[in-house]
Chains A and B, each alone.
Chain A
Amino acid sequence: MKSAVVLLPGLNRDRDMIAALTKISGQAPATVWQTDTEIPDVDLIAIPGGFSFGDYLRCGAIAARMPVMRAVAEKAAKGVTVIGVCNGFQILVEAGLLPGALMRNASLKFVCRQVKLEIANANTMFTRRYQPGQIIRSPVAHHDGNYFADAETLARIEGEGQVVFRYAENTNPNGSINDIAGIVNDKGNVLGLMPHPENLIEAAHGGEDGRALFQSALGIAA
């Protein structure tokens, strides 16, 4: 399975994402730069975490307007799988590829810790290798992960099963509405999540709870 990783100035989790995709898919992902207007023919595009453009204006706001994101949007519209982690999630909501917004953590503090996630919908292309309701561990590291959507949008995404990951066991680190940690778009091929599954994929990480997400998205057997 071929993948590509989007690179933008200020991202700092790109190497982790490249390592995870290389180890799980068996081949190194292509990389695309912010000014690229075309993305090679791949099955999965990943937008890593970090602080693109120094989080100026709003987290992800500047990155979302870069040429490469128009290319990502075109690929997403054609059904290519897209994953945005952390800043990548913020970029996807700013680009309008996912509903809602990510605001400053309710505590106003940067949080860097491990949380528990519930698989709120195991019937997506990103979670099919998990069990419904399964609780997994995942690291988080962010300052602006407080998911917000207006009442109408919230009712819609909850009703349509677009909430895929939820902070579980009172580990919501940021005040996200309905404990939302990750959502998919209405077509189900674009995922954004604040936690970092790419940082928990092998024994050296202390566990491989995040591995099944990439196996699901890449269509690889568990």
Chain B
Amino acid sequence: MKARITVTLKNGVLDPQGKAIEHALSGLGFDGVGQVRQGKVFDVELTGTDKAKAEADLKAMCDKLLANTVIENYAVEIA
């Protein structure tokens, strides 16, 4: 089973890297770029076949390590 975890900064948390990327895109001449927020993607392979258990495990992985829930949100997607 393959899963993808997306970690993004919560709204209201300043993202200086996203801001720098936003400015760089404008500098390249891309008009109409609004806010850019940078995040992380984790592709996780799981050996089990129980989808419900996998989802619970992946959420626990996010809470315990992959995301810092003080500043980040996460989304879990199982292929």
Contact = CB atoms under 8 A, between A and B. Distances in A.
Contact of A149 (B14, B20, B70): B70
Interface in B1-21: 12-14, 16-17, 20
A77 interface: no
B68 interface: yes
Interface string A101-121: 101111110000000000000
A94 B13 contact: no
B70 A150 contact: yes
Q: Which of B13, B16, B65 has the most CB of A within 10 A?
A: B16
A186 to B, nearest CB: 16
A101 B68 contact: yes
B68 A104 contact: no
A104 B16 contact: yes
A146 B68 CA distance: 15
Interface residues of B, number: 12
B68 A58 contact: yes
B65 A65 contact: yes
Interface in A106-154: 106-108, 146, 148-150
A101 B15 CA distance: 13
A65 B13 CA distance: 24
B17 A104 contact: yes
Contacts of A93: 70
Contacts of A103: 13-14, 16, 71
A175 interface: yes
A150 B16 CA distance: 17
A56 to B, nearest CB: 11
Contact of A57 (B16, B66, B71): B66
A103 B71 CA distance: 9
Interface of A: 57-58, 61, 65, 93-94, 99-101, 103-108, 146, 148-150, 175
22 contacts: A57-B65, A57-B66, A61-B65, A61-B68, A65-B64, A65-B65, A99-B70, A100-B70, A101-B68, A101-B71, A103-B13, A103-B14, A103-B71, A104-B16, A105-B16, A106-B16, A108-B17, A146-B14, A146-B16, A148-B13, A148-B14, A149-B70
Given A106-B16, A108-B20, 12 more contacts: A58-B68, A65-B64, A93-B70, A94-B68, A100-B70, A101-B70, A103-B71, A106-B14, A108-B17, A146-B16, A148-B70, A150-B12
